Chain A
Amino acid sequence: MTLEELKQLDPEILLQELRAREPKKSEPITREFQACGCDDTPTVPMKRLREGEAAGVPELANVPSGDLVEALHATQMVIYGVDDRLDMYEVTNAAHRSSADSVVMLVNAGSITANNNGTSTIATQNFGTAYNLCSTERFRNQPIAGFCSGFLVDPSLVATAAHCVDSANLANVRFVFGFQMRNATTAETTVPTTEIYRGIRIIGRAIGNQGTDWCVVQLDRPVLNLRHVRLRRSGKVADNAGVYVIGHPVGLPKKWAGGAVVRDNAPTRYFVANLDTYGGNSGSPVFNATTHDVEGILVRGETDFVFNGNCRVSNVVPANGGRGEDCTRVSEFVSLVPRNQHDFIPFNPTKAKVVQRNGRWKIEVDGMWLLDFGSSKAEAQQALKIIQHYKMNTQCFVGRPGPSMEFYLVNGQAPSGALAGEDAIGFNPANVQVQYVSGRWKIVDGSHWILDFDQSEEEARQALSYILRYGFRFICFVGRPGPSMTYFRR
Chain B
Amino acid sequence: MNTESAGGLREVFGQAARQARDITELAALLRARPEVEQVEVRDYLVKTAPPMVEVAVWLRGGEWPLVADIVLQPDGSMTLHGVHEAG
Contact = CB atoms under 8 A, between A and B. Distances in A.
Interface stretch (A27-35, A236-244, A255-263): A27-35
B61 interface: no
Given A45-B49, A208-B85, A326 B72 contact: no
Contacts of A47: 45, 51, 72
Contact of A164 (B41, B48, B51, B73): B48
Contacts of A300: 44-47
Contact of A277 (B24, B47, B79): B47
Most buried by B among A36, A47, A51: A51
Contacts of A438: none
Contacts of A43: 50, 71, 73-74, 79
B63 interface: no
A282 interface: yes
A400 interface: no
A51 B53 CA distance: 11
B65 to A, nearest CB: 9
Contact of A278 (B22, B49, B52, B76): B49
Contacts of B4: none
> What size tier do the contact residues of chain A reach?
35 or more
A279 B51 contact: yes
Given A28-B75, A35-B81, A208 B49 contact: no
A280 B72 CA distance: 13
A45 B53 contact: no
A27 to B, nearest CB: 6
Interface residues of B, number: 32
B24 A49 contact: yes
A278 B23 contact: no
A146 interface: yes
A79 B39 CA distance: 30
Contacts of B84: 207-208
Nearest to A147: B49
B34 to A, nearest CB: 21
Interface of A: 23-30, 32-36, 38, 43-51, 54, 131-132, 144, 146-148, 161, 163-164, 166, 168, 207-210, 250-251, 277-282, 298-304, 323, 325-326
B49 A250 contact: yes
B8 interface: no
Interface in B16-71: 21-24, 27, 41, 43-53, 67, 69, 71
Contact of B41 (A51, A207, A279, A299): A51
Contact of B73 (A32, A146, A299): A32
Most buried by B among A34, A50, A147, A207: A50
Contacts of B41: 50-51
A136 to B, nearest CB: 20
Given A35-B71, A50-B23, A208-B67, A280 B49 contact: yes
